[in-house]
Amino acid sequence: MNALLLVAHGSRRPQSNNEVLLLTQKLKNHCSQQYPIIHGAFLELADPTIPDGIQQCITDGATTVVVLPYFLNSGSHVTQDVPAIIETAQSSYPMIDIKLAQHLGASEMMLELLISSANQAL
Amino acid sequence: MNALLLVAHGSRRPQSNNEVLLLTQKLKNHCSQQYPIIHGAFLELADPTIPDGIQQCITDGATTVVVLPYFLNSGSHVTQDVPAIIETAQSSYPMIDIKLAQHLGASEMMLELLISSANQAL
């Protein structure tokens, strides 16, 4: 069973964290057939942590967990910190397939999304 | 003539700023017919500033400038800082139509983009 874990940086501003969790809820409403298990997690400054989020996915019955970094830039969080956490989690759960998706900013759909947003303002 | 100004926060890490400018270049390659003028700008920590970016669009011949905030969360930068800069710029250039698009995180296409990225990892 596939799980999707949306991972954001985390903020000291609760409203920003809530926006991420709200987006997670929208994902649940939008694609529960493809991903019966969907959770949100934060790299730092907020809970749940990424390991806690992965554990929750597995507790819910996931056999595959796709970790999707909700980050714009490919800084050290995306290139080092999140992959290191995933590697540790994979070692802890060898029977589970934990996959790391490309970060948000690298999506091939980004141009289309930006143009769509711009056009709506015209 | 329509111009598109992609506005990011700006970072002390040059590579992050370069990623935004690279994205701006991709936008130029992708939609120069809809937006013959496309530039990138930064709220802080990097150049060009948003006022400089707007001025460049106008110098290039823009009659309408769509400012698109490349921000995930609707924090004070999106709700206060960028709108205040746009308001000041609009006062400075009353003959130009300066429009503020919704920020990236509010895009209706975000769910579709996230699912697409997740699916590519499977």
Ordered per-residue pLDDT tens for chain B, 122 residues: 999 999 999 999 999 999 999 999 999 999 888 999 999 999 999 999 999 999 999 999 999 999 999 999 998 999 999 999 999 999 999 999 999 999 999 999 999 999 999 999 99
Residue of B nearest to A20 (CA): B73
pLDDT at position A18: 96
Phi-psi domain of A97 (left: phi exceeds 0; alpha: psi -120 through 50; beta: other): beta
| Binned average pLDDT, 10 residues per bin, chain A of 122 residues | 97 94 95 94 97 98 98 93 98 98 96 96 96
pLDDT at position A42: 98
> Are B23 and A121 a contacting pair at CB < 8 A?
no
**Tokens standing for residue A35:** 């991903």
Mutate to test the interface with B, among A114, A115, A120 (most CBs of B within 10 A): A114
SS3 B31: helix
Q: Which amino acid is at A54?
A: I
Q: Which amino acid is at A122?
A: L
Rounded Cα–Cα distance for residues A106 and A59 (Å) = 30
In our burial notation (b when 16+ CB lie closer than 10 A, e otherwise), range A53-87 reads bbbbbbeeebebbbbbbbbbbbbebbeebbeebbe
Q: Residue B100: its chain A contacts at CB < 8 A?
A: 121
DSSP strands (E only) in B10-58 = 37-42
pLDDT at position B22: 96
pLDDT at position A101: 98
pLDDT at position B116: 96
> Are A117 and B111 a contacting pair at CB < 8 A?
no
Angle at B107 between CA B120 and CA B46, to 5 degrees: 90
Query: Percentage of chain A surpassing pLDDT 90?
Result: 96
Is the CB of A25 inside 8 Å of chain B's CB atoms? no
ipTM: 0.95
Q: Which candidate, A8, A16, A30, places its Cα nearest to that of B109?
A: A30
Residue of A nearest to B109 (CA): A113
Distance of CA A35 to the CA centre of its chain: 13
